[in-house]
Amino acid sequence: MTKEIAEIAVADDFIPADYKPPSTTGGWLKPEAGETHKIRIMGTMSNPATGVLCWEGWKDKKPLRQPYTTDGFDKVQGYDADSKPKHAWIFQIYHYETETAMIWNVPQRGLQDELRAYTLDTDWGDPRMYDLKLSREGTMLETKWRLVTGNNKSEPTLLMYETMAQAKIDVSQVFAKDGFGDNPFGALGIGDTIPF
């Protein structure tokens, strides 16, 4: 593509001049170094369609997820390349910047501890009732995460509920196909109870 054609394409608003590709993949929140994301947790571990606790292992860039049980641990340990399953929290979120329903996988113990601390704090409690800002700095072993509350407590908005309902996400689909997972987006169908 010549420079003139590129300029015309931008000038015609086919690709806006300030366009940046998202750091999310397939509706899963995957922050890159230097990014901050404003989110609202919408799922709960008491409803598997909106959130699950699991064991997670990786081999050849493919995850295996099993329920958070002794049997689940054993299956993942036998699969994982390093035989070191991670305990993960996976739940639905609303992403403010993209105004979309997403899934956030939290295998980092430090982030789990921070979320649990907010949940147990009487000033905050249920994380579905306030916004969070998630920041990532660095990569690999140098990665540092930061999680802060974004505002005062409030119910999720009607737009948030509608966005989640339209996405028809069933997080429990991560356990489908013997733990190799199926697409959770749009997995809730006719007759299924939409949790929002």
10-30 pLDDT, tens digit per residue, is: 555 666 666 555 544 569 999
Average of per-residue pLDDT across 77-92 = 95
* Cα distance between residue 171 and residue 42, in whole Å: 12
pTM for the full predicted model: 0.82
Pairing of strands 62-67, 86-95: unpaired
pLDDT of the residue at 4: 54
Average of per-residue pLDDT across 137-152 = 86
CA-closest candidate to residue 167, choices 186, 150, 146, 184 = 186
pLDDT of the residue at 24: 47
Domain annotation for the chain: domains and CATH numbers: 27-179 (3.90.198.10)
For the stretch 32-60, pLDDT in tens is 999 999 999 999 999 999 999 999 999 99
Q: Taking a C-beta distance cutoff of 8 angstroms, is the pair 124, 154 a contact?
A: no
User: What DSSP character marks residue 15?
Assistant: S
Q: Taking a C-beta distance cutoff of 8 angstroms, is the pair 159, 166 a contact?
A: no
